[in-house]
Amino acid sequence: MMALTTKEDLDSIKSWLKKGKAVALTGAGISAESGIPTFRGKGGLWEKYDPEIFANAEELLSTFRQKPERIVDFLSDLYSLLLQAKPNPGHFALAKMEEKGILDCVITQNIDDLHNLAGSRKVFELHGNAFHLRCEKCFRRMGLDREKLADLINKMNKYKNSKWKLLRLFSQFFPKCTCLARFRIDIVLFGEMLDYDILSKANQAVNNCSLLFLIGTSGVVYPAAQLPFAAKEKGAKIVEINNNPSELSYICDYQILGKAGEILPEFIK
């Protein structure tokens, strides 16, 4: 691994970009620049809410039965962050790189929809999208309108102390699918399997890329953390862009310490 500090290093990365399309794997770090604290970091949601409860389907249901107001508080805090967040220059730079044919796709661990809002068209969301609904049985997906979502949050807070009113509200916003199962927010919770089709496409992308950007990812969450190893085995160069070294730094060919929103636009100039 070498730190990117010279024009020669930048030219070297550009030469690899010319040999074939690059792929970007993004984590919570790029979203932190848009005002979304990392879940595990300082000020993140897991400081206030136990992830073993609020990121677990069975525990969520149990908590709703016993303390529905806690579920309302959690969803309100989560979506107050997501609804206010806007794409930053790093998101826009990746979208522009795709438009120019430099970048093949974005693989993201984030659920905030910011890559799509920035204009990226080929995005593989490994952990789902908080602005999509997914059928629990057949996995059919549908969009979740932002205005309706904001309305849902307002109504939840109004009815937070009434489990029955909340149930009626949820039945309206999370309808039944044609297969008769119910829709839920399209987020992968602890213990759940990632979407096989999305993970397969992500694996195919890293196996065929000549360069992989690791952007704002800690490298500790699997199976996303195994993707850089697959790219490395196929001969791709690995470029890490992060505020701090990660668990994957040791396999990287280049390391750029800093903000993605400041670094990525340099590749388009």
Q: Which domains does the chain have, with CATH numbers?
A: 1-35+87-127+195-269 (3.40.50.1220), 37-84+130-187 (3.30.1600.10)
pLDDT at 32: 94
Instruction: Point out the least confidently predicted range of 14-28, 120-134, 145-159.
Output: 14-28
Q: What is the mean pLDDT of the chain?
A: 91
pLDDT at 1: 45
Asked if residues 141 and 186 have their Cβ atoms less than 8 Å apart, the reply is yes
Q: Full-prediction pTM beyond 0.85?
A: yes
Mean pLDDT of the region 6-15: 76
Give dist(CA 228, CA 202) in Å, integer: 11
Nearest to 22 by CA among 93, 75, 78: 93
Nearest to 208 by CA among 200, 216, 220: 200
Told to judge if 132 belongs to the known catalytic residues of this protein, a careful annotator would answer no
| Predicted confidence (pLDDT) per residue in 184-243, tens digit | 999 999 889 999 999 999 999 999 999 999 999 988 888 999 999 999 999 999 999 999
pLDDT at 239: 94
pLDDT at 259: 93
- Active-site hit among 91, 115, 127, 132: 127
pLDDT at 264: 92
Cβ atoms within 10 Å of 156's Cβ, excluding its own = 22
Give dist(CA 212, CA 31) in Å, integer: 19
Mean pLDDT of the region 118-129: 97
pLDDT at 36: 93
In whole angstroms, how far apart are CA 97 and each of 22, 25, 92, 161, 178?
A: 9, 14, 9, 48, 39
Mean pLDDT of the region 93-118: 96
Containing H/E element for 232? Answer: helix 227-233
